[in-house]
Amino acid sequence: MSKSKIIIIHTGGTIASKVDYKTGAVVAKFEPEELYALYPELKEVSDFDIIKVANIMSEDVDFNFVNELALAIKKGIKKETKGIIITHGTDTIHYTSAALHFMLKNLPIPVILVGAQRSSDRPSSDAGMNLICAARFIIKTNWGGVGVCMHENQSDESCVVLPGEKARKMHSSRRDAFMSFDDGLVARVSYLSGEVEMLHKVIINKEKFELTLIDKNIWVGLIKVHPGFDPKILRNYINYSGLVIEGTGLGHVHENCLPEIENLIKKGVKVIMATQTIFGVVNMNVYSRGRKLLELGVKGNYENLPPESVFMKLLIELSKGS
Amino acid sequence: MSKSKIIIIHTGGTIASKVDYKTGAVVAKFEPEELYALYPELKEVSDFDIIKVANIMSEDVDFNFVNELALAIKKGIKKETKGIIITHGTDTIHYTSAALHFMLKNLPIPVILVGAQRSSDRPSSDAGMNLICAARFIIKTNWGGVGVCMHENQSDESCVVLPGEKARKMHSSRRDAFMSFDDGLVARVSYLSGEVEMLHKVIINKEKFELTLIDKNIWVGLIKVHPGFDPKILRNYINYSGLVIEGTGLGHVHENCLPEIENLIKKGVKVIMATQTIFGVVNMNVYSRGRKLLELGVKGNYENLPPESVFMKLLIELSKGS
């Protein structure tokens, strides 16, 4: 039997929410079946199985949820599964997509997260287009990996599939909130013609699929330095396994942070540098401050990932025991 | 005497740095006079006075420095001053520009911060073009305010002047690292033709100029929530005057943060919501979690500023005693 089925894993978020007409607020209370009923065009693209893993707004995403989701994906990887779509709140879609990227090694199928900036029962909703483009991408590709499929721009012409570890929500309300500054789009999907343009070298991974679950005993911090940052704040992470610091520029901190960072590293905290510029590589070789940080044992040099992704990468590495 | 002079205030950073050929690292050790010697084209635009306020890399910017800079600007506002250029490290240029925007009320002249992503003694340096475009903007405008003038894109054709409170460094190395997603560019300056295109309604402020200095007894925190964020971290800010939380999306936090936020507000900490999406407005009315935060007394609703700017705004407000 050829692969022909797409699994939709439902987790909640705006894509699965409705306006509560009593209060006017948007709440997570959509049922998966309703999504299918709302977008009958989906049936033209593929057959689907719809599974509900959670029904939460994305600000409440925690590592239990991410582990459950990873296990549901593992279960969904079967001979007849062409790919998996995860409906997810956009607020933290990039934290989850980065986590899944690092947790699911050698994915044989595409696992595509989609969200919506307007709830599915609103006429202006972007939910349907993101969903349909994700389904089309899955049907037409042999790519294996975690991606995020959202509007390319403010028009309703195309979606882009961003790599899960490089997606980031960059606007609180626009439908094209997810962007990549540098490179690395996986594909562009035309909503109008249905065409899929691959923008990424397709590598079919033949190695054994592996899953790492997040170890809930591991604590990792994510902080940002800034003018007026009190270095004593760093002492709060002394019992953590790891700490990601969003440094300025290429990965810098104020001189007064150096003794505290040195102390954290001595106490066994793995300290990783990321950049609060979000885009661009960390490079601690260029300026003298960066060189000092390297000397102290700060890691993360030459990494080109958003800080949220660096955070998830560290968490998964520590969960593996490495 | 008509206004004809531009003051260049020198503070350090890459624009004022050289490669140390002993170590290969970039260090801050440029003297203001050398800048003038390097860019003789500046003389064609205007007369200049060059003042050195500091010579630090921008990761070491602190509030003493920002106060000194504000005082130097105040001193520089004279009948013959057409505008002020501040050379500054790009890493924290946006923290300083936002601070100055909120500190200097009713500025009668343009105060433009410029930086460079490559040091001035390198052939690929962007320093000269940013400087010259800033000078041209000042000569040709009657705008009063704080702006940041940097490359518009990766070509050497034009610079843009961004409003000081909306600029943000978005790339660790690209010359067009500063961007505005939404709106609000002040002007575009063609490097080739020298033309200045105003993109902002020019409002000549006739009200009295006022300066607020940062009160060094005020502590404000800037933190980011994320999946796996330990709400107990919030307790570290119990003795702070204010705390800016970079929430997800429209300004959300995990449910488990609510009791800690409530406690901070009860203890007198001013808690302001910003969004880690950087671009877009905070709106705590849309979802039920946001409404709960408003009920608890969290402020910052409808603000459309990057988190770093929200942080500086709160600091200056608290410095005023409001």
* Nearest Cα residue to A164 out of A48, A86, A277: A86
Confidence band, pLDDT 50/70/90 cuts, at residue B179:
confident
Residue A90 a catalytic site member: yes
Considering the domain A220-319 in this protein, what is its CATH number? 3.40.50.40
The pLDDT tens digits of the residues spanning A50-109 come to: 888 988 889 999 999 999 999 999 999 999 999 999 999 999 999 999 999 999 999 999
Which residues of chain A does B26 touch, with a Cβ-Cβ cutoff of 8 Å? 286-288
A279 DSSP 8-state letter: B
Q: Which of B3-12, B172-181, B219-228 has the highest mean pLDDT?
A: B219-228
What mean pLDDT, rounded, does chain B reach? 91
Contact A190, A157 (CB under 8 A): yes
- Cβ-nearest to B253 among A59, A225, A277: A59
Interchain CB contacts (distance < 8 Å): A and B: 195
Q: CA B232, B238, B243, B249 torsion: positive or negative?
A: positive
Residue B115 has pLDDT above 90, yes or no: yes
- Residue A62 sits at the vertex; the CA angle it makes with A56 and A63, to the nearest 5 degrees, is 130
Give the per-residue pLDDT at A35.
Answer: 73
Encoded tokens for A147: 């991606």
Do the beta carbons of residue A315 and residue A220 sit within 8 Å?
A: yes
Q: Which residue of A has its CA nearest to B174?
A: A280
CA distance A13 to B283: 16
Tens-digit pLDDT profile for residues B238-269: 999 999 999 999 999 999 999 999 999 999 99
Task: Answer whether B172 sits within 8 Å of A222, measured CB to CB.
Answer: no
Same CATH topology for A5-211 and A220-319: the answer is yes
- Run of H or E residues at A145: strand A145-151
Identify the pLDDT of residue A118. 83
Q: CB within 8 A of A293, min separation 6: which ones?
A: A251, A252, A253, A258, A261, A273, A284
| Test mutation, A176, A233, A258, A277, chain B, max B CBs within 10 A | A277
Distance of CA A239 to the CA centre of its chain: 27
Scan for tokens 């909130």, then name that residue: A177
Cβ neighbour number for residue A286 with a 10 Å cutoff: 20
The per-residue DSSP string of B52-120 comes to E-----GGG--HHHHHHHHHHHHHH--TTEEEEEEE--GGGHHHHHHHHHHHEET-SSEEEEE--SS-T
Low-confidence ranges of chain A (pLDDT < 50): 1
For the segment B190-218, the average pLDDT, to the nearest whole number, is 90
Spatial CA neighbour of A161 closest among A170, A153, A152, A149: A149
Q: Determine phi and psi for A153, rounding to 5 degrees.
A: -145, -165
Q: For B20-48, what is each residue's pLDDT tens digit? A: 666 766 665 567 677 777 788 888 899 99
What does the domain layout of chain A look like in residue ranges? Answer: 5-211, 220-319
Identify the sign of the CA torsion A192, A195, A197, A203.
positive
Looking at per-residue pLDDT, the higher value among B200 and B18 belongs to: B200
| Cα–Cα distance for residue pair A3/A225, rounded to 1 Å | 49
Could you tell me which chain A residue has the CA closest to the CA of B60?
A: A254
Q: pLDDT tens digits, residue range A2-14?
A: 567 999 999 977 7
Looking at residue A19, what is its pLDDT? 67
Closest residue in chain B to residue A225, using alpha carbons only: B222
**Between chains, do A286 and B226 touch, taking CB under 8 Å as contact?**
no
Question: Is A23 in the active site?
Answer: no
List chain A residues with CB under 8 Å of B250.
91, 172-173
B175 within 8 A of B235, measured Cβ to Cβ: no
CATH of A5-211, one of 3.40.50.1170, 3.40.50.2000, 3.40.640.10, 3.40.50.970: 3.40.50.1170
Q: How large is the average pLDDT for residues B195-204?
A: 83
Catalytic, out of A81, A87, A90, A275 = A90
Do residues B164 and B200 touch, judged by C-beta distance below 8 A? no
